[in-house]
Structure 1
Amino acid sequence: MRTIFTLFLLLVSATGCAAPRADLWPYWQQSNETNTATIDHSLWQQTLDSYLVAQPKQTLFRYRAVSSSDKYDLDRYIRKLTATDPRRYSKDEQFAYWVNLYNALTVQLILDNYPLKSITKLGGLFSFGPWDEKLVTINGNNLSLNDIEHRILRPIWNDPRIHYVVNCASLGCPDLQPTAFTASNSEKLLEQSARRFINSAKGIRVSGDNVRLSSIYDWYGVDFGSKSNLQKHLNRYRQGQPVQLNNVSYDYDWALNEAR
């Protein structure tokens, strides 16, 4: 029985890494492009300023150091967002709203369950991570992290750079940006995030003719297109010699992105 149970756990872990497909939730497509109002993300910026540690090769988060009052402010920020109907705002304002909400919820998940070695340890005995858990309610709709990423962000904006800006609290993930997203800075941060990840060892590592890519390019290959299209995408941002995707392997580090 123990052998069967172990095999079952391995199967769950393996299938848990399979990426959900983009599946539009039409309810969230509505926007009001005439609305020039902005959503306040200053509390999220306050959290980033206080606890994010941007290093040359890796951005880390000081989970252990977060004070009770700052945990409260993060919760207050999330509650303010969930009390807001994003459909009443412009598409650009909505994009910043969803990215910041996703990242703030991820940080809150880690804080609520700290200490832990990996976000994949959350979500229950037979789950690989917490991504399907319903974490917030907006306009009467219960949403998970997977809903935000795969049913809202990916299908509505159809931009592969989204994968560079939603952070899963892991060392293999594209870095959590030190600046909160806004309608006015999103394009700049998308470009900056793509360039930083693609020029990092966790994004691409070349050894002779062998290229090790982040598993993101495997899990979400449909968003990046054919091998030729992916190669063009990578070389658009890559500094130095262009990469040739001949002998490709994939890797990802799920260890917690914690600053010690």
Structure 2
Amino acid sequence: MNKPLPIKAPIFLALLLATSQAVAAPKSELWSFWDKSDQNNSNAIEHKAWQQTLDTYLVEKGQHNLFNYSAVSTADKAVLDQYIATITSKDPRSYSLDEQFAYWVNLYNALTVQLILDEYPVKSITKLGGFLSFGPWDDDITTVAGKKLTLNDIEHRILRPIWNDSRIHYAVNCASFGCPNLASEAFTSTNKEVLLDSAASHFTNSEKGARIEGSTLTLSSIYDWYGSDFGDDEQAILREIDKYRDGKKLEGWSGKIKYEYDWSLNQP
């Protein structure tokens, strides 16, 4: 019987790092530079170009909103690129908190779509990033107010710590089937609450959010990775999910609970 070939150290380390990054979720840690606003500024940031992109390429299929990456024209890719360039030229700190929230969520989602389009075709966003990376989330991807930013910076150092709202996890999209849907409407300061509640409702009532099969409850890995954002313990997390569920309530569940996430690309 032949002995198995030894795994070379660099390959082993890469596999180990990728595995650890896949399960270790970033903590919510405020980047204080961004904790500033002008509540007296009533001006709005324009997101029509992002809405145009959503209207043209987002496809509703069952419980999923899918993005038709393969159909994006060169002209429309240029529209998306220009939208990102335009809003990143602004300093969101000079706007109200509601405007800032819409700004960061739309920017995160637009940057994610841009990343996929720049590398398309690709089977999963986890295939992007450097050799030792599990996805592109720690890569410098844009610059705002003179600060280089990663997707993780936007989500975990700006959105989560400033707004402390678990519904943020339903709003930012990671271009994957397991992720909460990419909203069909661009976020604005006036529709943000409606869109957040809608996103929470759609996800918690979907099979990728919570699914009961016999004595097993399968939850999205989001509730495992970011459990503390939803509650102090398992039952508190289930109670938070129940706020938006129309079907069978989950609080008090005593059977098996497991977690899963589908990283395949959210395309038709």
The answer to whether TM tops 0.5 is: yes
Shift of the 128–46 alpha-carbon distance from structure 1 to 2, 3 Å rule, reads same
CA displacement, residues 115-171 of structure 1 (integer Å, 9 cap, x when unaligned): 000000001111000000111111110000000000000000000110001000000
**Aligned CA-pair RMSD:** 1.2
Structure 1 or 2, whichever has the larger Rg, is 2
Q: Distance in 2 between matches of 1:11 and 1:168?
A: 22
Structural mapping, 1:199-218, within 5 Å = 199-218=205-224
Q: What's the offset of the Cα at 1:2?
A: 5.2
Q: Distance in 2 between matches of 1:185 and 1:37?
A: 15
1:3 and 2:7 aligned: yes
1:242 and 2:246 aligned: no
1:27 and 2:38 aligned: no
Moved over 4 A (4+): none
Task: State the AA in 2 paired with 1:72.
Answer: A
1:82 alignment partner in structure 2 = 88
TM-score (ref. length: structure 2) = 0.94
1:127 and 2:133 aligned: yes
Structural mapping, 1:36-51, within 5 Å = 36-51=42-57
Flag structure 2 segments of 5+ consecutive residues without an equivalent.
none
1:223 alignment partner in structure 2 = 229
Structural mapping, 1:150-161, within 5 Å = 150-161=156-167
Q: Distance in 2 between matches of 1:2 and 1:254?
A: 29
Q: Distance in 1 between matches of 2:143 and 2:248?
A: 47
Q: Distance in 2 between matches of 1:38 and 1:164?
A: 23
1:179 and 2:188 aligned: no
The number of equivalent residue pairs is 259
Question: Residue 31 of structure 1 contacts residue 87 of structure 1 at CA under 8 Å; is this kept in 2?
Answer: yes
Q: Distance in 2 between matches of 1:156 and 1:194?
A: 19
Task: State the AA in 2 paired with 1:241.
Answer: K
Identity over aligned residues, as a percent? Answer: 55
Q: What's the offset of the Cα at 1:227?
A: 1.5
1:191 and 2:197 aligned: yes
Q: Distance in 1 between matches of 2:179 and 2:228?
A: 18
Question: Residue 53 of structure 1 contacts residue 62 of structure 1 at CA under 8 Å; is this kept in 2?
Answer: yes
Task: State the AA in 2 paired with 1:134.
Answer: D
Q: Distance in 2 between matches of 1:176 and 1:240?
A: 23
Task: State the AA in 1 paired with 2:205.
Answer: N
2:77 alignment partner in structure 1 = 71
Q: What's the offset of the Cα at 1:24?
A: 0.1
TM-score (ref. length: structure 1) = 0.97
